[in-house]
Structure 1
């Protein structure tokens, strides 16, 4: 089973809690440091050859849409609940845009959904 790589970009430079949840589920996590990190999501995903990325901002859209536009990642944005993210992974999205939701449960649930869908 190969390790899943997840990149997290948060508009306010956070993301440590969701990262802890993803790591607990067995993923390698890259948290982009600094304010406006969500806007660098696609760049860092490409550099890290990430399996999926998570963007957090007020609307849940900016970083995800930028990653989709610049690199062609399949993005779903404006999500507000863990179940929405799990469903998006199941539908094949690899960039997930959320409103601010830096919680461990989100990271764990998304990695587990990815493992289930892709057998990683």
Structure 2
């Protein structure tokens, strides 16, 4: 059994709690960055917590993911608009996923479950 999947969530408007609930429902650990502009801190918090992947939310879905990629070299994808696109990104090995605003429990759960399935991580 591997270690628990750790997911960092940063939302431009300080949200992300529903996605965090979904990650936790899959057996993962969610770190939801508090406050406005949290999307810009995703890379920093991922690095500090040795996270498996990060989710960034803002209007376009690009800023936080690009910042994490530029600052730390995380493999990032942005402008995602659906759960299916996020699952595909996990399958393709992306470490930071940039979405438009989509604070939905199902999103967190599906992404964490896919990561666990691929990387054989458990609770």
Same fold, judged at TM 0.5 (above) = yes
Structure 1 alignment gaps of length 5 or more = none
1:5 maps to which residue?
6
Q: Could you tell me how far apart the structure 2 residues matched to 1:19 and 1:86 are?
A: 16
RMSD of aligned residue pairs (Cα, Å):
0.5
Q: Could you tell me how far apart the structure 1 residues matched to 2:120 and 2:28 are?
A: 13
TM-score by length of 2: 0.96
1:109 deviation in Å?
A: 0.2
2:113 maps to which residue?
112
SS at match of 1:110: helix
Structure 2 alignment gaps of length 5 or more = none
Corresponding pairs, count: 120
SS at match of 1:34: coil
Deviations 1:46-102 (A, max 9, x none): 000000000000000000000000000000100000000000000000100000000
Q: Could you tell me how far apart the structure 2 residues matched to 1:61 and 1:5 are?
A: 21
Task: List 4+ stretches of structure 1 deviating above 2 A.
Answer: none
